[in-house]
Amino acid sequence: MLGYSIAIRRLQCLVRFLVGQNKNRLHSTMTTVPGIEADALNVLRSITPTLDLTRHKGQAGKIAVIGGCREYTGAPYFSAISALKIGADLSHVFCTKDAAPVIKSYSPELIVHPILEESYSVRDEDKRSISAKVLAEVNKWMERFDCLVVGPGLGRDPFLLDCVSDIMKHARHSNVPMVIDGDGLFLVTNCLDLVSGYPLAVLTPNVYEYRRLVEKVLNCEVDSQDGTEQLLSLAKRVGGVTILRKGKSDLISDGESVKSVSIYGSPRRCGGQGDVLSGSVAVFLYWARQRVAELEPRSNPTMLGGIAGSILVRKAALLAFENKRRSTLTGDIIECLGMSLEDICPVNRHR
Amino acid sequence: MLGYSIAIRRLQCLVRFLVGQNKNRLHSTMTTVPGIEADALNVLRSITPTLDLTRHKGQAGKIAVIGGCREYTGAPYFSAISALKIGADLSHVFCTKDAAPVIKSYSPELIVHPILEESYSVRDEDKRSISAKVLAEVNKWMERFDCLVVGPGLGRDPFLLDCVSDIMKHARHSNVPMVIDGDGLFLVTNCLDLVSGYPLAVLTPNVYEYRRLVEKVLNCEVDSQDGTEQLLSLAKRVGGVTILRKGKSDLISDGESVKSVSIYGSPRRCGGQGDVLSGSVAVFLYWARQRVAELEPRSNPTMLGGIAGSILVRKAALLAFENKRRSTLTGDIIECLGMSLEDICPVNRHR
């Protein structure tokens, strides 16, 4: 009898330990938006590729981040390393010469191209030739990339932004998808033609960037009452690009439908989380494009990529916050991407 | 009493379920190739030197990586640090001036020589003298090295590749073994004389590099039916160099025999794993040369080095993948080299 109760106590102890290892202790904050909440966990599972030993380097994704200047080096690193941590095979960064050694030094896992130039280092008479050289350098690689992320740590130097406009036009011409964030959104808001009508573009504005976009495109203020209708109009007006509006709930629309992702998330707002999202959406967008023909009902891969990126980063942010609380930094969230993905979509699952 | 045993059974059931969720479900994938599977674990054990307190710095191996340019700094780092993590005593990198500070910043364990030059930084009239200077700098060290790794992150700058050709000729003249990967294979495929007939050369092509090699040397397409025969022909035609063809199973041939290594391995294909292999093969090749006179039957040390490098990196990749899953990066694999080696061949073993 005593033996039984000791055995039970031991087993109970083991169960508590194992349950503690498995579960997410801060529960998802289920303030879902009624009717439009995406089935984000299943979206993520449906597009994430299975892994097997016959695959070759590059098949899980080759991502390039266009960003990184004299001032900003963390943002492009966060975006590019997030892509790898989710499962991309190769992650490139195209940045200025000043930024490159620093970004390289953050991690040997990235391939960093020191090719962009800012006005301060270029004479007026050289601008044309340097601009052509920058474009030629990026174009050598363009066809190999499965998705670009344009904007993390790009800065606002006019010459640099002109070069990036050229890169975006070429990417569009080559049908390479683009996720646009940060200073890339500044560029796009001032020159909507860069993305207008391009169905493979995803914009990921925060509250300020969204306000500027609404003011520019819809010529009105942000509607705090019916945000979904306004987002739908905005995405439609920009010709069906996908817009992921970041917030307490993330709202995603391609002008045809609106979906929200409300579960998980953390109250910490340290800089850099948007970069983790842009790198994540880039990978999921590519994966969604790979699988979209098999999916029922047929869906827009940019919507699926946005939804999957949103839920994964929200889960990783929650996990990091549970552990680090107020001291949570973006690097902590990146370290939680892998276990969050494995938790939602284990490697050994059966579809 | 019955209540207790039911409770125990339920708890046992729950424990099994939870353990099942937690445990590493990816076992080694034993899809061995019949007849030619190498006894890789015993090969590794037979060539790995015992350690004792009488040994001096350098006796366990002095490796040099030729690679690292403006674009690529991670690859030479991965190769050079892997050599140290397996047990080499000294690991050098010869790279361009731009790449050196970054590679140095990854680790103070490496000795990094900023001596290579790319075309963009050299005037035509200076090329001859600079080329001579580069060669003289490397030659000062050449006799001390037990193996070179040529190619990780080398890039394809024509002037730089010319200098590296000179280095390879000198290494061959000095009977220094060479492991050739990445852009080194691009160089060698275009100039087979650099390695043709040199029995101390090991080429480590991936699927794409192998295809180019087959097309160039055998003037045909890759035979997907009988890969072993074609590999044997290829190695023979290049004059008995050893070729380690990376893939689901690694295949290794010196033109005399073919061996495969199929156990372990991971489905993750993040960039950089080839660099870990090249650094590992370099160390094992040197160790095999040290011990080959004692081994029965007498074997080709380049074959033994290839087999041992293959099995160790496959085991480390599996260990890393079991822990990190989709977020496994090359740095994680490198961190598993030591425990993988200790697991296969403990320091305190008796031969």
Q: Does A2 touch chain B (CB under 8 A)?
A: no
Query: How far apart are the C-alpha atoms of A333 and A275, rounded to whole Å?
Result: 11
Q: Is B21 on the interface with A (CB under 8 A)?
A: yes
Say if residues B279 and B80 touch (Cβ distance below 8 Å). yes
CB-based contacts of A261, cutoff 8 Å, min separation 6: A37, A38, A40, A249, A250, A252, A307, A310, A311, A314
Q: What is the mean pLDDT of residues B298-310?
A: 96
Instruction: Give residue A5's pLDDT.
Output: 55
Mean pLDDT lowest for which of B11-20, B33-42, B82-91? Answer: B11-20
Is there a contact between B26 and A109 if contact means CB atoms under 8 Å apart? Answer: no
How many angstroms separate the CA of residue B182 from the nearest CA in chain A? 13
Which of A19, A105, A110 is facing B105, going by the closest CB pair?
Answer: A105
Give the model's confidence band at B146: pLDDT under 50 very low, under 70 low, under 90 confident, else very high. Answer: very high
| pLDDT tens figures, B152-189 | 999 999 999 999 999 999 999 999 999 999 999 999 99
Residue among A53, A339, A348 with most chain B CBs within 10 A, to mutate: A53
Q: Which residue ranges of chain A lie beneath pLDDT 50? A: 1, 13-31
Those of residues 96-125 in A touching chain B at CB distance below 8 A are 101, 104-105, 107-114
What pLDDT, on the 0 to 100 scale, is given for residue B13?
42
Put simply, the chain B residues between 179 and 198 with a CB less than 8 A from any chain A CB are none
| Option in B11, B98, B325 nearest A15 (CB) | B11
Q: Residue A32 region, left (φ>0) first, then alpha (ψ -120 to 50), else beta?
A: beta
Q: What's the rounded Cα separation, in Å, for the pair A247 and B141? A: 59
> Do A51 and B4 count as a contact with CB atoms less than 8 A apart?
no
Q: In which element (H, E) is residue A201 found? A: strand A201-203
Spell out the residues 6+ positions from residue A291 whose beta carbon is closer than 8 angstroms to its own.
Answer: A46, A47, A49
CA of B248, closest CA in chain A: separation in Å?
A: 5
Architecture of the domain spanning A57-344: 3-Layer(aba) Sandwich (3.40)
User: Helices B2-22 and A2-22: crossing angle, nearest 10°?
Assistant: 30
User: Can you give the pLDDT at residue A55?
Assistant: 87
Is the bond preceding A297 in cis, omega lying within 30 degrees of 0? yes
For residue A97, list chain B residues with Cβ-Cβ distance below 8 A: none
d(CA B142, nearest CA chain A) in Å = 27
Interface residue B15 vs chain A (CB under 8 A): yes
Average pLDDT over chain B, rounded to an integer:
91
C-alpha A136 chain-centroid distance = 26
Q: Is the ipTM of this complex over 0.85?
A: yes
Percent of chain B with pLDDT over 70: 90
pLDDT confidence of residue A6: 55
- Segments making up each domain of chain B, as ranges: 41-48+56-343
CB B138 within 8 A of CB B148: no
Q: What is the CATH number of domain B41-48+56-343?
A: 3.40.1190.20
Contact A290, A243 (CB under 8 A): no
CA-based nearest residue in chain B for residue A11: B11
Per-residue CA distances from B118 to A50, B121, B157 (Å)? 41, 6, 6
| pLDDT tens digits for range B232-270 | 999 999 999 999 999 999 999 999 999 999 999 999 999
Query: Do the chains contact at A108 and B331, CB–CB below 8 Å?
Result: yes
Q: Do B73 and A22 touch (CB under 8 A)?
A: no
Q: How far apart are CA B148 and CA A283, in angstroms?
A: 36
State the smallest CA–CA distance between residue B185 and chain A in angstroms.
17
* Helix extents (H) in chain A: 2-22, 40-47, 74-86, 100-106, 127-142, 158-173, 183-190, 207-217, 227-237, 273-291, 301-324, 330-335, 337-344
Distance CA B249, CA A315 (A): 36
Q: In what order do the strands lie in the sheet with A250-253?
A: A111-116, A90-96, A62-66, A147-150, A178-180, A201-203, A242-245, A250-253, A258-261
Angstrom CA distances, B113 to A272, B97, B142, stand at: 35, 8, 13
Q: Which of B79, B112, B269 to mutate to test the interface with A (most CBs of A within 10 A)?
A: B269
* A58 close to B (CB below 8 A): yes
| Chain B (277-336) residues lying within 8 Å, Cβ to Cβ, of chain A | 324-331
Instruction: Judge: B207–A112 Cβ closer than 8 Å, yes or no.
Output: no
Taking CA atoms, A89 is separated from B78, B269, B277, B327, B332, in Å, by 16, 6, 17, 10, 14
Chain B residue nearest residue A50, CA to CA: B267
Give the residue among B186, B213, B214, B188 at the shortest CA–CA distance from B201: B188
pLDDT score for B15: 42
Beta bridge partners of A253: A243, A258
C-alpha angle A210/A214/A215, rounded to 5°? Answer: 115
- Residues B124-141 have pLDDT tens digits of 999 999 999 999 999 999
Q: Which ranges of B121-205 would DSSP assign to H, the alpha helix?
A: 127-142, 158-173, 183-190
CB contact residues (below 8 A), chain A span 147-176, against chain B? none
β-pairing verdict for A201-203 and A242-245: parallel
B21, pLDDT greater than 60: no
Q: Which of residues 243-262 of B touch A (CB under 8 A)?
A: 248
Alpha-carbon Rg for chain B in angstroms: 22
Interchain pair A348, B73: CB under 8 A = no
Beta carbons of A278 and A285 less than 8 angstroms apart: no
B290 contact partners, CB below 8 Å, separation of at least 6: B47, B49
pLDDT of residue B68: 98
Cβ-Cβ contacts under 8 Å between A and B: the total is 133
With CB atoms and an 8 Å threshold, state whether B74 touches A21. no
Q: Is B6 in the A-facing interface, judged by CB distances under 8 Å? A: no
Q: 3-class SS at A292?
A: helix
The answer to the question of whether A286 is labelled as a binding residue is no
Tens digit of pLDDT for each residue in B324-343? 999 999 999 999 999 999 99
Chain B residues touching A55 at Cβ < 8 A: 267, 269
Token pair of B295 as six digits? 């081994």
Q: Which residues of A touch B27 (CB under 8 A)?
A: none
Supply A42's token pair: 């299943």
A214 at B interface, C-beta within 8 A: no
B13 has a chain A CB within 8 A of its CB: no
Is B126 annotated as belonging to a binding site?
Answer: no
Nearest CA in chain A to B332: A109
pLDDT value at residue A22: 43
Give me the residue from B11, B22, B102 closest to A105, CB to CB: B102
Q: Measured between CB atoms, which of B15, B330, B331 is closest to A11?
A: B15
CA distance B228 to A24: 49
For residues A185 and A192, what is the distance between their CA atoms, to the nearest angstrom? 10
CB atoms within 10 A of CB B220: 10
Beta carbons of A347 and B326 less than 8 Å apart: yes
Q: How far is A76 from chain B (nearest CA, A)?
A: 16
Cβ–Cβ below 8 Å for B329 and A109? yes
Q: Nearest-5° angle of CA A120, CA A126, CA A129?
A: 125
